[in-house]
Amino acid sequence: MPSHQDIQFSKVELARYNRHIIIPEFGLEAQQKLKAAKVLVIGSGGLGSPVLLYLAAAGVGTIGIVDFDRVDDSNLQRQILFGVESVGQPKVEAARRRLEALNPHIEIKVYDTLINSQNALDLIRDYDAVADGTDNFPTRYLVNDACVLLGKPNVYASIFQFEGQVSVFNYRNADGELGPNYRDLYPTPPPPGLVPSCAEGGVLGVLPGIIGSMQASEVIKVITGVGEPLSGRFFIFDALNFETRTFKIKRRDDNPLNGNNPTIKQLIDYEMFCGMKVVERPVKEITVQELIQWQTLGEKFQLIDVREPHEYEAANIGAELIPLATVVDNAGRFAKDVKVVVHCRSGVRSAKAIRELEDKLGFDNLYNLKGGILAYLEFENKQITI
Amino acid sequence: MATVIIPTPLRKFTNNTAKLDIAAGTVEEALLDLSANYPDLKKHLFDEGGHIRTFLNIFIGEDDIRDLQAGKTPLHDNTVVSIVPAIAGGSTDGYH
């Protein structure tokens, strides 16, 4: 990598970055460091959007974007990189176009791929810093471990509903002291299903804007050495009551990556580590077409919706509402003498409900509605439009 | 009385209460007290062996209880106990 002192700016660039350069603590040198830097942003969704926009605007010389996803209508509530015209396109391509339009003086590299144990080290190796804006536990641990193995700082942020978290992991300060990483903070992931995700629990659209902007700010501090990065500290923000708290975190002797007796020396299977590979026992299913046939024929059955009350209020198909967390307590409301069709949004929660009732209470008359209410509504719409 | 701050993902088990004042001698007693008052919360705070779950961080003021006396860390009047679970973001399963 060329030394940042060799970095030159055109007149146009100097004008563009003027408001940085005139900050006494920042100056031309920090701007040179930004232009010399390579930052990999993993995930270009809610958090990645503000991170990418601000890093591009700030003049980070090389920005890599990893995302395998396509832009969906439901992204636009918070993923401000994208507009209606991007729906259906690869996120990395839509992001590249937006960022190149914002700043033509930087290089954007895109990786339209799923980051995994096979490619993570190669993806991250050429970069100076990583910003983790991913959306699931296996990838959080994967990115953390890859950064620790490669010695790269990992600027971390995460969001749920109204709450956000930020920290800078694996950061070596000017004195050569290494800060904690994600495994020091959270040694093990929660078992699947115990912690709800944003897809189930939702997220306030502006929250990733707030938290992602902080993440971008920390990336800039890590690269330029200006200020004190959020290393060894863990910041949380609750938008609901506007409370912020910053905790102290430390490296742990028992960290399996870089504690006293490291046991993880290469990337592992993170879905296995997070308990995602447990093969779930299949449950009996019925399709929307079969359900409608039952209704038409007047067959006797009970229909139960295990979503949350607010989801039920927004749209329902006349089922009885028994949210997933309460099904065992309300097992008495499930019929035993007729077939019971259980549904949720897409079929995941209702399958969980059925397994729980079968395992704990011996039910054998429960049927999962394949594709959930989404499939039902889609089928009905098709019927109407035909 | 110590004040326990309940994180967003667990508030559905506390009738959406964000802060609870609890008279308890230690962190563990406070969490047991919470579990007694809100039974659905228990499995989110303790594992099957009765240990505080490792994907929960509990801080007293700014400090991680693992740097203090873990569950046995004493609570005083006006101690603020923050429960901070791991959150990952949007996906419901695996890598995507």
pLDDT tens-place string over residues A306-350: 999 988 998 999 999 999 989 999 999 999 999 999 999 989 889
Per-residue pLDDT tens digits for B44-62: 899 888 889 988 999 999 9
Geometric angle at alpha carbon A142, from A136 and A146, rounded to 5°:
150
Tell me which of A51, A142, A198, A369 is the catalytic residue.
A198
Chain A, chain B: beta-carbon pairs less than 8 Å apart: 126
In this complex, the residue of B9, B63, B91 whose CB is nearest that of residue A199 is B91
Per-residue pLDDT tens digits for B6-51: 998 888 899 999 999 999 999 999 999 999 999 989 988 998 888 8
A166 close to A132: Cβ distance less than 8 angstroms = no
Is A198 marked active-site?
A: yes
Q: Nearest residue of A to residue B88 by CA position? A: A136
> Rounded to whole angstroms, how far apart are CA atoms A184 and A252?
6
Q: Is residue A236 predicted with pLDDT exceeding 60? A: yes
Q: Quick one: average pLDDT of A55-84?
A: 96
pLDDT: is A276 or A101 the higher one? A101
A161 neighbourhood in chain B, CB within 8 Å: 8-9
Q: Nearest residue of A to residue B67 by CA position? A: A250
Q: Nearest residue of B to residue A159 by CA position? A: B89
- B84: part of which helix (H) or strand (E)? strand B80-85
| pLDDT given at position B94 | 37
Chosen from B3, B5, B6, B8 to mutate, greatest number of chain A CBs within 10 A:
B8
> Rounded to whole angstroms, how far apart are CA atoms A292 and A376?
9
Q: Quick one: average pLDDT of A146-151?
A: 98
B94 neighbourhood in chain A, CB within 8 Å: 136, 138, 271, 274, 276
Q: Counting Cβ atoms within 10 Å, is residue B86 exposed (0-12), middle (13-18) or buried (19+)? A: buried
> Rounded to whole angstroms, how far apart are CA atoms A109 and A171?
24
Closest by Cα among B15, A349, A380, A356 to A369? A349
Chosen from A91, A144, A198 to mutate, greatest number of chain B CBs within 10 A:
A198
Q: Is residue A384 predicted with pLDDT exceeding 60? A: no
CB contact under 8 A, A136 and B96: yes
Geometric angle at alpha carbon A313, from A311 and A317, rounded to 5°:
85
Reported ipTM: 0.92
Positive/negative CA dihedral, A26, A29, A30, A35: positive
A312 close to A322: Cβ distance less than 8 angstroms = no
Q: Does A46 touch chain B (CB under 8 A)?
A: yes
Q: Does A205 touch chain B (CB under 8 A)?
A: no
For residue A281, CA distances in Å to A278, A305, A356, A374, B10 come to 9, 21, 11, 23, 28
A300 CB-near residues (< 8 Å, 6+ apart)? A338, A339
A221 close to A57: Cβ distance less than 8 angstroms = no
> Rounded to whole angstroms, how far apart are CA atoms B92 and A76?
19
Q: Is residue A179 predicted with pLDDT exceeding 80? A: yes
Look up residue A311 and give its amino acid. Answer: E
A200 neighbourhood in chain B, CB within 8 Å: 92
Instruction: Determine how many CB atoms are found less than 10 A away from the CB of residue A222.
Output: 25
Look up residue B61 and give its amino acid. Answer: G
Chosen from A183, A185, A195, A230 to mutate, greatest number of chain B CBs within 10 A:
A195
Domain map of chain B by residue range?
2-85
Range of weakest confidence among A35-39, A179-183, B86-90: B86-90
Per-residue pLDDT tens digits for A359-370: 889 999 999 999
For chain B, the C-alpha Rg in angstroms (whole number) is: 13
CATH code linked to domain B2-85: 3.10.20.30
Q: Is residue A77 predicted with pLDDT exceeding 70? A: yes
Identify the band that residue A190 occupies on the pLDDT scale cut at 50, 70 and 90.
Answer: confident
B27 close to B65: Cβ distance less than 8 angstroms = yes
CB contact under 8 A, B8 and A135: no
> Rounded to whole angstroms, how far apart are CA atoms A263 and B79?
37
Closest by Cα among B65, B22, B71, B27 to B51? B71
Q: Which of residues 34-93 of B touch A (CB under 8 A)?
A: 40, 43-44, 53-55, 57, 59, 62-64, 66-67, 82, 84-93
Nearest CA of chain A to the CA of B62: how many Å?
4
Geometric angle at alpha carbon A95, from A13 and A5, rounded to 5°:
30
> Rounded to whole angstroms, how far apart are CA atoms B33 and B9?
19
CB contact under 8 A, B95 and A139: yes
Q: Is residue A1 predicted with pLDDT exceeding 70? A: no
Q: Does A166 touch chain B (CB under 8 A)?
A: no
DSSP E strand boundaries for chain A: 38-42, 62-66, 107-111, 129-132, 154-160, 163-169, 233-238, 243-248, 285-286, 301-305, 320-321, 339-343, 366-369
CB contact under 8 A, A190 and B85: yes
Tell me which of A51, A55, A130, A344 is the catalytic residue.
A344
Geometric angle at alpha carbon B91, from B87 and B96, rounded to 5°:
130
CB contact under 8 A, A46 and B8: no
| pLDDT given at position A259 | 96
Closest by Cα among A28, A191, A217 to A129? A217
